[in-house]
């Protein structure tokens, strides 16, 4: 029972982390390696709001922080990525460098130790199927489902969402129909960063805000996306359930240290068996070479 | 408004030295050999030159070790098209292998470096084998994870000294050996690699980067070529790792640290990708800079990353390409 409940919670956590990454990649073809950095940054911004600028209610701080993170994502695209669009090596190195710069900058700025914590939304816990679960984790699961549903409806039933998908499928044809490629990419990066921020705000109250979280979040996001097929929302969810349960099982039968090992082994096995991922449709032929 | 554009013309000296007149006079010979000679002699006399400053003399070793790592990154990224974000994998594996040979099997230091380089290269190639059919983003992702994975495994299993690392490795018999081993190896790798990529096989390597379908269509197995490339790159990286481990007489988890991944990338981009010598030049700039900034802690990495981003965005050709252009061509403004 414990495995089942916490497996679901862990899987939804992973899905939350990686939805932003996969959204950005599927639309603008930019692997946003600064994802983990944005995750930590949002947590830090909220901490600043709560501790350095008092009198701001928690909810307002959250909204502001998510908006700021979205803006950072948009700025990264507008001023840096737009100049190196299409050069894959440069894109990877640039986004990775931005991410590392932000993370190590935060570490240098004093983001160390155990003092940086966010309050939980609601304290307390309840029992489900004989397992004790606290309310925060319940909120994480609910929000995860809501975010997925929102993304699904957003990309399938709104004009902007359809434009984003159009760019993702065939950039030239979409541009011919009057969709601005750069604007959609900016939008995609803003939404993806905001999603990273949202997941940070949901998950960080469960622990400390630490710099290392940035790297592990990036790695888990990438692991989930590679296994699910880069750029497939549905694949992301399935893959996060696979890795989520695998992690809980290793946690139960082996040790916590092996969680990262499991993620990496899963990636390697996926890459050998089906390089484009479980549900990856795009670029299936190219990636095999 | 009258419009101007920049016109670039090859220097007459360059045009002459490309043909049979290359060795017709001292001027032409100097034009060709000069820059190389300045570099080689400069690197060789560096330890003697810095005799008065013992601290900076030790920096030379680290500088050259990073230069070898940068060469390996440059070769993989700009000649084969495999972006390896985890250069620390090579140093870590090399360093730990050296520690195993020297500490547990008590082999002499030269043998342990040699064996660690060779077996480390085999090991890295084996580990990266599943990722080789991929390219671009996918390969970068997998290599990014490996250093972290290995440090986690060593931490979790508490093998090879766990978080404390293995101390008490053999040191070099004299400082001069320490300097010249790494300097000569750097020169060997630099000129060997440059010769290598200009051979026919080098053309195939570049073909893999530019158009792998075409290479495959010529009946060449792309994955085999990539295996060779990764072996060469990890050979260089593992030498660096083994050398650094012996220099500090210690092998630990910090051999898998971020520095070994980021600084080579930064120096390649700053020095100019695809020129090989540019990677060396970049690390000759960055590593002393990092020593000056030692007190700043992790701010160093921030500075590298910002420099890296700026260079990618503003001057993506890098320093070396710029200098080469100035050396071979002159520019003037002409009316359109």
| Residue of A34, A77, A89 to mutate, interface with B, max B Cβ within 10 Å | A89
Residues of chain B found within 8 Å of residue A264, distances taken between Cβ atoms: 145-146, 149
Structure tokens at B106: 């008590």
What is the mean pLDDT of the segment spanning B19-24?
74
Closest by Cβ to A257, choosing from B140, B148, B152: B152
Q: Measure CA of the first residue to CA of the last residue in chain A; give whole Å.
A: 43
CB–CB contact A101 B306 (8 Å): yes
CB–CB contact A89 B142 (8 Å): no
By mean pLDDT, which of B59-63, B159-163, B247-251 is the weakest?
B159-163
Residue of B nearest to A275 (CA): B134
Q: Measure CA of the first residue to CA of the last residue in chain B; give whole Å.
A: 11
Amino acid A2: pLDDT = 74
The model's pLDDT over B142-174, given as tens digits with 9 standing for 90+, comes to 788 788 888 878 887 777 777 778 887 888 888
Amino acid B227: pLDDT = 92
**Integer Cα distance of A147 and A255 in angstroms:** 31
Residue of A nearest to B226 (CA): A289
CB–CB contact A264 B308 (8 Å): no
Structure tokens at B185: 């190896």
Query: Tens place of pLDDT for every residue, chain A, 289 residues?
Result: 777 888 888 888 888 888 888 888 877 777 888 888 888 888 888 888 888 777 778 888 888 888 999 999 888 888 888 888 777 778 888 888 888 888 888 888 777 766 677 777 776 777 777 777 777 788 888 888 898 888 888 888 888 888 887 877 777 888 888 888 888 888 888 888 988 888 888 888 777 788 888 888 888 888 888 888 766 778 888 888 888 888 888 877 877 777 777 777 777 777 777 767 777 665 544 444 3
Closest by Cβ to B212, choosing from A223, A230, A289: A289
CB–CB contact A97 B313 (8 Å): no
Amino acid A288: pLDDT = 40
A48 touches chain B (CB under 8 A): no
Closest by Cβ to B313, choosing from A84, A100, A267: A84
Contact indicator for A104, B298 with CB cutoff of 8 Å: yes
A&B contacts, CB < 8 Å: 131
Looking at every residue in chain B, the average pLDDT score rounds to 86
Residues of chain A found within 8 Å of residue B130, distances taken between Cβ atoms: 268, 271-272
The model's pLDDT over B171-216, given as tens digits with 9 standing for 90+, comes to 888 888 888 899 999 999 999 999 998 888 888 998 888 888 888 8
**Integer Cα distance of B64 and B280 in angstroms:** 8
Asked if ipTM goes beyond 0.95, one says no
Q: What is chain B's alpha carbon radius of gyration, rounded to the nearest angstrom?
A: 21
pTM, two decimals, is: 0.85
Residue of B nearest to A33 (CA): B141
Would you call B12 exposed, middle or buried from its count of C-beta atoms within 10 A (0-12, 13-18, 19+)?
Answer: exposed
Task: Assess whether pLDDT exceeds 70 at residue B41.
Answer: yes
Amino acid B189: pLDDT = 93
Amino acid A281: pLDDT = 60
The model's pLDDT over B119-138, given as tens digits with 9 standing for 90+, comes to 999 999 998 888 887 766 77
Amino acid A286: pLDDT = 47
Would you call B307 exposed, middle or buried from its count of C-beta atoms within 10 A (0-12, 13-18, 19+)?
Answer: buried
Contact indicator for B282, B289 with CB cutoff of 8 Å: no
A288 touches chain B (CB under 8 A): yes
A268 touches chain B (CB under 8 A): yes
CB–CB contact B156 A267 (8 Å): no
Beta carbons within 8 Å of A156's beta carbon, 6+ residues apart = A162, A165
pLDDT over 70 for what percent of chain B? 99
The model's pLDDT over B323-332, given as tens digits with 9 standing for 90+, comes to 888 888 888 8
The model's pLDDT over A88-116, given as tens digits with 9 standing for 90+, comes to 778 888 888 888 888 888 888 777 766 67
Amino acid B17: pLDDT = 78
């Amino acid at each position: 029972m414990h495995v089942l409940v916490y497996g679901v919670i862990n899987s939804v956590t992973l899905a939350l982390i990686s939805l932003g990454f996969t959204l950005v990649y599927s639309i603008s073809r930019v692997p946003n390696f600064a994802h983990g950095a944005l995750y930590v940054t949002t947590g830090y911004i909220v901490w600043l709001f709560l501790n350095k600028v008092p009198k701001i209610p928690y909810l307002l701080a959250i909204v502001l922080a998510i908006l700021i993170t979205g803006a950072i994502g948009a700025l990264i695209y507008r001023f840096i990525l737009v100049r190196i669009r299409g050069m894959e090596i440069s894109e990877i190195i640039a986004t990775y460098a931005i991410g590392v710069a932000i993370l190590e900058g935060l570490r240098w700025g004093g983001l160390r130790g155990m003092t940086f914590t966010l309050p939980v939304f609601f304290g307390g816990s309840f029992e489900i199927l004989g397992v004790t679960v606290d309310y925060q984790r319940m909120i994480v699961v609910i929000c995860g489902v809501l975010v997925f549903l929102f993304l699904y409806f957003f990309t399938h039933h709104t004009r902007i969402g359809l434009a984003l998908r159009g760019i993702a499928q065939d950039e030239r044809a979409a541009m011919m129909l009057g969709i601005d490629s750069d604007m959609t990419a900016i939008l995609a990066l803003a939404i993806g960063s905001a999603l990273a921020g949202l997941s940070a705000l949901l998950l960080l109250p469960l622990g400390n805000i630490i710099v290392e979280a940035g790297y592990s979040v990036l790695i888990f996001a990438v692991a989930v996306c590679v296994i699910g097929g880069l750029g497939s929302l549905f694949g992301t969810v399935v893959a996060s359930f696979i890795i989520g349960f695998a992690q809980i099982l290793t946690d139960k039968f082996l040790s916590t240290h092996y969680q990262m090992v499991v993620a990496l082994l899963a990636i390697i096995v996926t890459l050998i068996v089906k390089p484009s991922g479980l549900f990856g449709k795009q670029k299936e032929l190219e990636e095999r070479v | 408004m009258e419009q101007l554009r920049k016109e670039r013309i090859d220097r007459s000296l360059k045009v002459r030295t490309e043909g049979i007149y290359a060795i017709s006079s001292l001027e032409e010979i100097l034009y060709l050999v000069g820059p190389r000679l300045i570099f080689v002699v400069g690197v060789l006399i560096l330890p003697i030159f810095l005799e008065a400053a013992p601290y900076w003399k030790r920096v030379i070793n680290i500088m050259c070790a990073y230069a070898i790592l940068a060469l390996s990154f440059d070769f993989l990224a700009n000649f084969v098209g495999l972006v390896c974000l985890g250069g620390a994998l090579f140093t870590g594996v090399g360093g730990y292998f050296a520690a195993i040979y020297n500490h547990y099997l008590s082999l002499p230091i030269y043998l342990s470096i040699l064996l660690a380089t060779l077996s480390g290269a085999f090991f890295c190639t084996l580990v990266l084998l599943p990722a080789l059919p991929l390219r671009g983003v996918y390969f970068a992702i997998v290599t990014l994870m490996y250093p972290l994975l290995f440090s986690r495994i060593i931490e979790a299993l508490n093998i090879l000294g766990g978080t404390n690392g293995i101390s008490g490795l053999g040191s070099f018999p004299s400082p001069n050996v320490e300097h010249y081993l790494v300097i000569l190896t750097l020169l060997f790798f630099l000129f060997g690699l440059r010769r290598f990529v200009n051979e026919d096989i080098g053309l195939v390597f570049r073909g893999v980067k530019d158009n792998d379908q075409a290479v495959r269509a010529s009946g060449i197995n792309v994955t085999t070529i990539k295996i060779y490339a990764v072996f060469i790159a990890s050979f260089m990286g593992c030498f660096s790792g083994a050398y650094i481990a012996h220099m500090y007489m210690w092998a630990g988890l910090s051999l898998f640290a971020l520095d070994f991944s980021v600084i080579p990338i930064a120096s390649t981009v700053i020095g100019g990708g695809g020129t090989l010598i540019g990677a060396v030049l970049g690390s000759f700039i960055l590593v002393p800079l990092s020593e000056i900034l030692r007190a700043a802690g992790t701010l160093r990495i921030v500075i590298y990353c910002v420099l890296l981003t700026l260079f990618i965005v503003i001057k993506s050709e890098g320093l070396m390409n710029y200098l080469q252009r100035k050396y071979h061509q002159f520019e003037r403004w002409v009316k359109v």
